[in-house]
Chains A and B, each alone.
Chain A
Amino acid sequence: MSEHAGRKRDLFTPGHYGCPGCGATLAMQQTLWALGEDTIVVMPAGCWSTLIGIYPYTCLTVPVISVAFASTAAVAAGVKAGLSIQGNDHTTVLAWAGDGGTFDIGLQALSGAAERNDDILFICYDNEGYMNTGIQRSSATPAGAWTTTTPNSALKGQKKKDIVGIMAAHAIPYAATASIGAPEDLKGKVKKAKDMKGTRFIHLFAPCPTGWRHAPELTVEVARQAVKSRIFPLYEVFDGEIWQLSPMPDKIGVDAYLKHQHRFKKTLDSDYLHFQTRVDEDWQRLLNKCQSGD
């Protein structure tokens, strides 16, 4: 907690409504530590819009506005325009949405803001499903995962949407992946993004013990294993052109990642080698992009 020392106030105070072991709370804590007080948060419906606290309580001490599900990037861009026309060009406007609010219902507004290169930092805390409404499938849910709308009788067959690829294709100044399992890397990327102008996007991996069916104390470990297994590799894309791999730990098999999570039980029992092949192929594709970008 040394990062608190010398701050005028704590930006994330005790008393959030998150589940035990919630990865999204760690994601916010690390992000706010990196951004500091000069931050306005725009958040849509999602886990964070409830776990922030019920009125009159809030666990965040920066200005926050809860917005309609599809509107995050547009509201954030409007806040920035409103500040900017009044002469404030320093405050970071953080759009903070879950995977549903980013990959699915929020994508049009996000794409619009990115195409206009509106000056916002959009961070997607990805827990791979509609966890706040009770673990339904999103387009960020990985293939082979159980959710309440992809039950064991009909597991999700489609791949997770490549959101960073989509954002990089808008040629925005900065797009990156980060994980609560690699906090120094995460904070470094948030600080880097803070100091840039234009649309900046970070895809932030945040395990959900409730939805993924793993023990709450394993949240950080599960996040680490996702990086190690290359299921969630860490990288940055500058201007949509230069792909750069972040420091990666030694590789492990995907089974080590899958085995802690009950949502993958059926896949682990039946289809695990196919899963490994797909991860290996995606990893190779990423390496190719990073090499050609150098």
Chain B
Amino acid sequence: MKKVVMGTEAAALAVKLARVQVISAYPITPQTVIVENLSDIIGRGELNAKYMPVESEHSAMASCIGASLAGARAFTASSSQGLVYMHEMLHYAAGARVPVVMVNCNRALAPPWNLYCDHTDSLAQRDTGWGQYYCADAQDVLDAILIAYNVAEQALLPVMINMDAFYLTHTSEPVDVPDQKAVDIFLPSYQPSSKLDVDDPKTFGNVCGADLFTSIKYKRHCDTLSLEKLWDRAAVRFCGYFSRLHPTVEAYQTEDADVCIIGIGTATGAMRLAVDRLREEGLKVGSLRLAMIRPFPRGGFEKATANVGHVIVIDRDVSFGAEGIVAQELKAILFDRHEDVRLTGFVAGVGGNDISVETIVPLVRQAIFGDGTAAEAGSTLWAEVLP
């Protein structure tokens, strides 16, 4: 069934289709529509779930962890300040191996206060052990949440589905809402092998010594790496049911490209349009959307960029004192390749500036030919800096 919905509404529809059992959340702009819709869906009896209107994001994630350990499918959503406030519990959820799925609406961090799109909030959580997926459109949001539960429950690891503030949260698009019966087959109920159970008592999260600690963390690291393959497999399975593919990377015109523009989130659509424009100028450019950032989709990235000599990254985020966070990730991967690949890193669109074709084309020209207005800071070039 086709529906015209905003990204946030698509997220709520997915949570309903996933038959989530415990939803615990604290409101924050621009996530609010998700939790408003969900409390209404539960209130109307359309979803048999407990809605916990908790007093903070820290408690939202804490109660999701508790619910998940009790064997229930759990969900929360947050954004920006809320996400960083629950930082401790993000580490805890991954360590406790609970397959919680959350939606983060990528919004700038204060100060100064700003409600608009920026990826620093979630990229700053990349070491917490969560799988991280960045959506391109509302259909991607809905489908990715369903795939995320499937993957999370196989790996016993939490997954964060990210969507751009306003560009995605508050933009209405036509979305194909899958049939509940088909979703139930793709995503059966959560049946954990281990949970809090008085008939089978176990202790979770005890103190342990360094030797065992190391082994537990090693196992978790291996399992986190496996999320890439699990996602691709689940995405293919999902495509079999619903005829839509959501891979970990999405390449455009990269086969013969010398230069590849890389980014995450909604701006990757404009990157593809910029590729078309630049190809008209005779430049052999392609683009790559990294849908997954944790684990880094190494296989998909290497396949798509095998023949590329120049990588141009547009980060909507920054690690202060270093450079764009996606640029750092790419440099780490490229270092292992033992090939002479050039990387130009831009920071653009932070705090909500639009990353349009008109933004991207001059940046690509600056990266290739050296002339442009982006301001230099260390190894990074910043677009749209006031004079």
The interface of chain A, by Cβ under 8 A from chain B, is 37-40, 42, 49-50, 52-56, 58, 60-68, 70-71, 73-86, 91, 108-109, 111-112, 115-116, 118
Contact = CB atoms under 8 A, between A and B. Distances in A.
Q: Which 9 A-B pairs have the closest CB atoms?
A: A78-B66, A82-B70, A78-B63, A112-B55, A82-B67, A74-B59, A71-B62, A82-B72, A74-B62
Contact of A55 (B54, B89, B208): B208
B54 A68 contact: no
A79 B55 contact: no
A267 to B, nearest CB: 35
Q: Which of B24, B59, B203, B212 has the most CB of A within 10 A?
A: B203
B74 interface: yes
Contact of B198 (A53, A73, A76, A91): A91
A55 B60 CA distance: 28
B198 A40 contact: yes
Interface in B153-192: none
Contacts of A56: 206
B21 A63 contact: no
Interface of B: 21-22, 24, 48-50, 52-56, 58-60, 62-72, 74, 88-89, 92, 96, 196-198, 201-209, 212
7 contacts: A55-B212, A65-B205, A66-B205, A67-B65, A68-B88, A108-B56, A118-B52
B209 A85 contact: no
B65 A75 contact: yes
Given A65-B196, A85-B49, A112 B54 contact: yes
A73 B55 CA distance: 11
Given A62-B201, A79-B196, A55 B22 contact: no
B52 A68 contact: no
Contacts of A38: 198
Contacts of B204: 63-66
A272 to B, nearest CB: 40
A64 B48 CA distance: 27
Nearest to A64: B203
A56 B64 CA distance: 26
B50 A81 contact: yes
Given A75-B63, A82-B68, A84-B50, A109 B203 contact: no
Q: Which of B24, B52, B88 has the most CB of A within 10 A?
A: B52
Contacts of B88: 68, 70
Nearest to A36: B198
Nearest to B52: A81
A115 B54 CA distance: 10
Given A40-B196, A65-B66, 18 more contacts: A52-B203, A54-B209, A60-B203, A62-B198, A63-B202, A65-B69, A65-B196, A71-B92, A74-B59, A74-B60, A77-B63, A77-B66, A82-B68, A83-B196, A84-B50, A85-B50, A108-B56, A112-B55
Contacts of A112: 54-56, 59
A52 B206 contact: yes
Nearest to A115: B55
Contacts of A77: 52, 54, 63, 66
A89 B235 CA distance: 37
B239 to A, nearest CB: 31
Contacts of B71: 82-83, 86
Nearest to B95: A68
A66 B56 contact: no
Nearest to B209: A54
Given A82-B68, A86-B71, A109-B55, A67 B62 contact: yes
Contacts of B58: 70-71, 74, 108-109
A37 B58 CA distance: 30
Contacts of B53: 116
Given A74-B54, A82-B21, A109-B58, A61 B209 contact: no
Q: Which of A78, A83, A91 has the most CB of B within 10 A?
A: A78
B65 A78 contact: yes
B207 to A, nearest CB: 5
Contacts of A83: 70-72, 196
Contacts of B206: 52-56, 58, 64, 66
B122 to A, nearest CB: 20
B198 to A, nearest CB: 5
B63 A74 contact: yes
A81 B62 CA distance: 12
Contacts of B49: 85
Given A62-B198, A70-B58, A109-B56, A78 B209 contact: no
B207 A68 contact: no
A84 B56 CA distance: 22
Contacts of A116: 52-54
A113 to B, nearest CB: 8
Q: Which of A40, A62, A71 has the most CB of B within 10 A?
A: A71
